[in-house]
Amino acid sequence: MKILLCFGTRPEAIKMVPIIKELQFRGLDYKVCVTAQHREMLDQVLDFFQIVPDFDLDLMTPKQSLNTLSAAVLNAIDPIFDNYLPDVVLVQGDTTSASIIALAAFHRSISVAHVEAGLRTYNKRSPFPEEGNRQIISKIADYHFTPTQNATENLKQEGVNDKSIICTGNTVVDALFWTQELLGRDLNFNEIKELRSHLDQTKKLILITGHRRESFGDGILNICKALLEISKREDVEIIYPLHLNPQIKEPVMNLLGGSSNIHLVPPVSYPAMIWLMEQCYMIISDSGGIQEEAPSFKKKVVVTREYTERIEAVEAGFCYLTGTNKNKIIDKVMSILDDPVVLSSIPNPYGDGKAATRIVEFLINLE
């Protein structure tokens, strides 16, 4: 069996790497194709995990629209199919490139396997365009690797054949464990040393991330205003790795650039982000990946979204939805800072770090 793995963003790469490593370990026939719409951030992950793509479409262009990207992916992937002739194409998650590659494989009668299948908000505008993308992929995919039982039930309710659904856990946990092991070997990460030198170990560190389209404009302004209020506490220090998108970076720099205990830093590498999650007291984020990773660190996340497809983390007490409402963000953060609840006994609902093994074993049995 010939397996083609396709992805183009840093989050996709992080979640696909454990599968690639498992395929390598077992000596199976596979190739990696990157669409690379997030060039710099993608390359950081590939370098760290020592993954060299077999095909690099290099589709990143400044300010490209979703339709422009879709057309580029659809046009570029056919020669890859002709070159490698895969039996199965693996796509991950909910990016536009993943949905278009799934469509292209369907057009060529190539089986599609969907990693992290079944996540739903059932609101096609939140998150946008991810919710629409993942529902489209579910209609096309032949095999659905779900991260949780909730995701499995979503697909069953939509009429997906039970035999094509495999609950594996989320490969993000696999990647996290592997990275923690590397960091635990005292490798010389200058980036982490630099970050450590700026932080006051006596204060409660709050880690911030944000990049969602639905937060552009007033949303990011409200988040920044909330951070300014939170930063007035003497026991708090904030670190904010800024997303490269100017619609996030520019307003954040304008509003928060002068705050003494808010550290605005360039985007950090994946291992540095894992280190920051280990060090922080809590997180404010709109990231789906962080909602999945934080439970392994027993850290609470204020989620600046109205809806989440990671409801398991909310139900377990790790995540709290506030949207971009300034007062809701402030109130929830203050309550976590003042009245912490220990979550050490609650397992990560997204898996045990063996998802990639389950995925590859299923693919082997297809032969």
Name the residues annotated as catalytic: 94, 116, 130, 211, 213, 243
Are the CB atoms for 220 and 248 separated by under 8 Å? yes
DSSP state of 27: T
Cα dihedral: 289, 292, 294, 298 (round 10): 180
List strands edge to edge, sheet with 29-34: 55-56, 29-34, 2-7, 88-92, 111-115, 143-146, 165-167
Cis peptide before 129 (omega within 30 of 0): yes
Residue with tokens 């996340």: 301
DSSP state of 88: E
The dihedral over CA atoms of 65, 303, 316, 343, expressed in degrees to the nearest 10, equals 130
User: Any idea of the CA torsion for 268, 51, 70, 210, to the nearest 10 degrees?
Assistant: -20
Which phi and psi angles does 288 have, rounded to 5°?
-70, -40
Hey, what are 305's tokens?
């979204």
Euclidean distance between CA atoms 182 and 269, whole angstroms = 14
Report phi then psi at 97, rounded to 5. -65, -35
Q: How are strands ordered across the β-sheet holding 300-303?
A: 262-265, 236-241, 204-208, 282-285, 300-303, 319-321
